[in-house]
């Protein structure tokens, strides 16, 4: 027996830590009563400059005023936030002793509010202390945070259900983030009224983010493939695919197949918009416990290295690749690569997304990739990374930006080192 390497035991448990969700037309107007019932003395409302002028924020302010809940408004959130934009929000929030936060907006706003909640409640010695390793120290959140009410205005990120906050680390040209169950919002208000003003291009990108969340969490390495943690608190938020996350992910895919194109084509389609809000949360509940993998890991480099691309339909002056777009551009290449690890799962995902059953004999990877490409083409996504300004000469930088994303890349059902990532980026240059 001498010299044998002792194998680390695999994990045999997973945890479903779900957020509270309230769904229905007009539920935004209940936030003031909820905060009054909780005895809140000063509420910080977090939003972005465009939304500050639109009905969702007006509804929140009217609700707070009707319930005589004092508030202060921070409306400088950056779409696709950076470490600098996070710090700006944190510095503003430190000026007044608020006791709850209401985040009104897309993932950028909700993620900013999560960071504000953490950094004002337990200020670290260094900004990167809580940030995921290997970029930061990944220190655990020391205790409970203040109540955070999340009111999404896009049907996409599912940020109202997750304990993850994502931002661009400017000096590294890469996205990273903070992950802890303690960051989860106290309550997510899913109000179909709030997505009525969503431009079609934003609805398309956000909807494709839902699609990729669901497929990634369903195809992620299983929770039993991870090492057993030495204590329960060290079990990661992203645990790998598991029987509960599978249910949420599959149902999210089925809703996307039925309603995404409808919601983008016709913003007045109330049923489709309501269903897509539900799909965003369903996918969030799925990936909030299972995690996402390579399409997201690669997307952080794609959005972090953007030079001049500005998307149609987004109110932005700075070059940016919308999150859902940066994810889905990598997805067909990734699922062609990961399908051999579990062909049956990849075919199940393709079927849930509406792929014709007759195509199964073509092989799991191409079937799933073709179905995702169908959505990309139908929703007028750019035709691959080349269409947003990248070329083969950028691949080393894209690989370098992906490698630190351990939290997600390690969940790939098929390991991908620098060589595999380089060929995936090459494959993603042209989509259809």
Give the residue-averaged pLDDT of 380-395: 98
pLDDT at res. 281? 96
* CA–CA distance, 97 with 335 (Å, rounded to integer): 47
pLDDT at res. 236? 87
Asked whether the beta carbons of 197 and 30 are under 8 A apart, the reply is no
C-alpha dist (Å) from residue 146 to 43, 143, 172 = 10, 10, 31
* CA–CA distance, 109 with 286 (Å, rounded to integer): 21
**CB contact burial 4-40 (16+ within 10 A = b; e otherwise):** eeeeeeebeebeeeebebeeeeebbbbbbebbbeeeb
Structural domains for the chain: 20-195 (3.40.50.1970), 200-427 (1.20.1090.10)
Q: Is the dihedral of CA 75, 78, 81, 86 positive or negative?
A: negative
pLDDT at res. 172? 84
Mean pLDDT of all residues belonging to the chain: 94
DSSP character at residue 20: E
Strand partners, 151: 104
pLDDT tops 60 at residue 3: no
Asked whether the beta carbons of 215 and 372 are under 8 A apart, the reply is yes
Give the residue-averaged pLDDT of 320-338: 97
* CA–CA distance, 289 with 245 (Å, rounded to integer): 6
- The pTM of this model reads 0.94
- Tens digit of each residue's pLDDT (9 = 90 or more) over 70-123: 999 999 999 889 999 999 999 999 999 999 999 999 999 999 999 999 999 999
Asked whether the beta carbons of 109 and 195 are under 8 A apart, the reply is no
Angle at 129 between CA 303 and CA 234, to 5 degrees: 95
| Backbone torsion region of residue 291, taken as left when φ is above 0, otherwise alpha when ψ lies between -120 and 50, otherwise beta | left
pLDDT at res. 360? 66
Cβ atoms < 10 Å from Cβ of 391: 9
pLDDT at res. 36? 98
Q: Is 146 exposed, middle or buried (0-12, 13-18, 19+ CB in 10 A)?
A: middle
Strand partners, 149: 102, 187
């Amino acid at each position: 027996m001498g010299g044998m390497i002792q194998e680390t035991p695999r994990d045999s448990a997973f945890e479903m830590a779900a957020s509270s969700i309230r769904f229905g037309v007009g539920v935004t107007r209940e936030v003031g009563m909820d905060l009054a019932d909780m005895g809140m003395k000063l509420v910080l409302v977090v939003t972005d400059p465009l939304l500050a002028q639109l009905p969702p924020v007006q509804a929140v302010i009217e609700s707070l005023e009707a319930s005589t809940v004092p508030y202060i408004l921070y409306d400088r959130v950056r779409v696709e936030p950076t470490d600098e934009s996070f710090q700006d929000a944190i510095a503003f929030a430190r000026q007044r002793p608020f006791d709850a936060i209401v985040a009104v907006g897309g993932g950028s706003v909700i993620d900013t509010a999560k960071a504000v909640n953490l950094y004002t409640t337990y200020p670290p010695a260094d900004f990167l202390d809580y940030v995921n390793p290997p970029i930061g120290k990944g220190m655990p959140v020391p205790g409970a945070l203040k109540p955070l009410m999340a009111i999404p205005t896009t049907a996409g990120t599912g940020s109202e259900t997750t304990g993850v906050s994502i931002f661009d680390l400017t000096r590294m040209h890469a996205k990273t983030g903070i992950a802890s169950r303690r960051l989860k919002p106290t309550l997510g208000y899913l109000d179909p009224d709030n997505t009525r003003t969503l431009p079609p291009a934003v609805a398309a990108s956000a909807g494709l983010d839902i699609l990729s969340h669901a497929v990634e969490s369903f195809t992620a390495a299983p929770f039993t493939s991870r090492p057993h943690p030495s204590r329960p608190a060290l079990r990661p938020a992203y645990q790998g695919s598991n029987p509960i996350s599978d249910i949420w992910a599959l149902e999210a895919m089925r809703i996307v197949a039925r309603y995404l194109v409808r919601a983008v084509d016709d913003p007045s389609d109330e049923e489709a918009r309501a269903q897509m809000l539900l799909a965003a949360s369903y996918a969030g509940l799925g990936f909030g416990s299972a995690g996402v993998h390579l399409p997201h890991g690669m997307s952080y480099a794609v959005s972090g290295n953007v030079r001049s691309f500005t998307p149609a339909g987004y109110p932005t002056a700075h070059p940016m690749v919308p999150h859902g777009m940066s994810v889905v551009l990598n997805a067909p290449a990734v699922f062609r690569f990961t399908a051999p690890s579990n062909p049956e799962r990849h075919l199940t995902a393709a079927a849930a997304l509406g792929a014709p059953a007759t195509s199964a004999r073509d092989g799991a990877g191409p079937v799933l990739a073709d179905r995702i490409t169908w959505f990309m083409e139908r929703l007028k996504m750019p035709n691959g990374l080349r269409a947003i300004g990248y070329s083969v000469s950028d691949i080393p930088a894209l690989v370098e930006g992906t490698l630190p994303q351990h939290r997600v890349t390690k969940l790939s059902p098929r390991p991908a080192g620098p060589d595999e990532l380089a060929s995936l980026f090459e494959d993603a240059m042209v989509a259809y």
